Structure 1
Amino acid sequence: MSEFTHFNDQGHARMVDITEKAESHRSAVAQSSIQVNEAIYQGITSNQMKKGDVLSVAQVAGIMAAKQTSSLIPMCHPISISGVNIEFDWKPVKEEYQLLIKSTVRTKGSTGVEMEALTAASVCALTVYDMCKSLDKGIVIGETYLTSKSGGKSGDYSR
């Protein structure tokens, strides 16, 4: 079983030991999206939603999620995050609107921040859904994926 990094010699789950890995500057960027109707788009962009400023709350939720990733994903290491940034961009799609969510996470450490960036983007989308579901339960959360990463043994990646 030793060929699998997250299983020990007995075939049981383990967290990979990163003690000997060199520290380096690492970053990861992930993207998600959420598709909403015209009423929700107008409510968010004019800051008229009943639950408040949707995008500000979603940004804070994404930042908090990045910091809690190791509590949610069993084999993720708790790491010291040096920065999280969440950006939004609107794109019209037929009669609806798509909110693009981009999360960037940075650290200086022995393991990467891909999972933190993906978690931040996902929780942002879920937060937008939560704050808007009273107007439309048919909101669609789109694909979530890593767009780029830098640093670490495996090097850089760009989608």
Structure 2
Amino acid sequence: MDRTNPPRKNDRATPAEFADWLRDQLERRGYDLRPRGGGQTRFAADSGIGQASISRMLRGQGAPETRVLEALSETLDLPLAEVLVAAGILTRDVLLAIRQQTPRTDPLTPEAAAEELGITDPQGVELFVSFTETLRKQRAANGGDQAAEN
């Protein structure tokens, strides 16, 4: 397996593949992962990730939490998307699809949102639109964007 890139093109990476990928990334950056090398301890200090979590990831045990993957991304100076693919959270195909989405330029109406969510029953659409309008009125009554900050 090529350990320079996140594993496999289209399938989700396994925990063992993520462990291999992470080990390679750490060793490339000078972390000595031999039993008494101190690399895990040093990386734990550098990243703020618990040493037990690092050890589990390197053994291919369990899926890391999102905050751990974010810390890996920052500490290793890698795009979060690359880390998510390496960890098997995203596939390369899903990542490509996300990157190819065209940003919406027109405002999303409640009716269009209902359609995108698969709400097709006229009563369901009416209920969705009504609920959306109620939330907008509540937001306006609470000071607009200030309500979103609280």
Structure with higher RCO (Cα < 8 A, 6+ apart):
1
TM-score over 0.5 for the pair: no
| TM-score normalised to structure 1 length | 0.26
Q: Higher strand share goes to which structure?
A: 1
| TM-score normalised to structure 2 length | 0.27
Q: Higher helix share goes to which structure?
A: 2
Task: Say which one has the larger Rg.
Answer: 2
